[in-house]
Amino acid sequence: MTEKRTVIGRVTRCSIRGFVGGIRLRQPDLPVFGGWCQAPAQGGETAVVGLIYDISIEDDELARQLAAADAPSPEQQADSQLNRPIPIELQALTVGYRRAGTWVQALPPQPPITLAEITGLEPAEVRAFTQRLDFLPLALSTAEVPADQVVAAALRQAAEARPRDERRPFLLQAGQECARWLGQDLGRLERLLRDLQAGGEA
């Protein structure tokens, strides 16, 4: 099953709290903000689960050259947009790990190692991981990342991974959990709930 996954990055640096990956991908394969991903650690014994909180496209000299040219042909434009792998760097916030088929919502014993493959979580895995929402305090307390927006985006994707009739109840439950942890900061909570609501209406 692991072989069938699309590799969305390879770890270039990491810590217990998160990992950074670089890769060249075509535009249709680019990961999304708040996406659920994983990378193996401890020789494959664990899979560290992360939420993508930043995606940056590195400088690309050829694209710059074509952009500055008078008139790239339609074929060259299509090549750049559909074929050319875009050099991207993604950053993920660690929210848990999986060991022996069990999901744990806490920081992992070890981070992934350099060049470990970062792959997306399958919808069934996202559903399984978000059966519990114990990762919320860990994610919401992270400084120096847009934690609230990442959490909202990730929860919306977790809702999308569920059958249509389960989505709204899931988002309501998630909103209640967020209120537990952000009850002291109503402004922050309101913004996060608005983000979640946007997902529920979609």
Q: Are 93 and 145 in contact (CB under 8 A)?
A: yes
Among 75, 144, 165, 201, the residue binding other proteins under the rule CB under 8 A is 75
Answer for the pair 167, 123: CB distance below 8 angstroms, yes or no.
no
Strand positions, DSSP E, 81-167 = 86-99, 102-104, 117-120
Residues 54-73, interacting with other proteins (CB under 8 A): 62, 65-66, 69, 72-73
Stretch that binds other proteins, among 76-84, 123-131, 159-167, 179-187 (CB under 8 A): 76-84
**Rule CB under 8 A: is residue 109 a binding residue for other proteins?**
no
Distance separating alpha carbons of residues 138 and 105, to the nearest angstrom: 9
Q: Determine which residue in the list 84, 127, 188, 191 makes contact with other proteins, applying CB under 8 A.
A: 84
Q: Is 115 left (phi over 0), alpha (psi -120 to 50) or beta?
A: left
- Which residue is listed with tokens 């970062």? 118
Instruction: Give the interface size with other proteins as a residue count (CB under 8 A).
Output: 18
Considering only 1, 4, 74, 163, the residue that binds other proteins (CB under 8 A) is 74
Residue ranges in contact with other proteins by CB under 8 A: 10, 22, 62, 65-66, 69, 72-76, 78-79, 81-84, 115
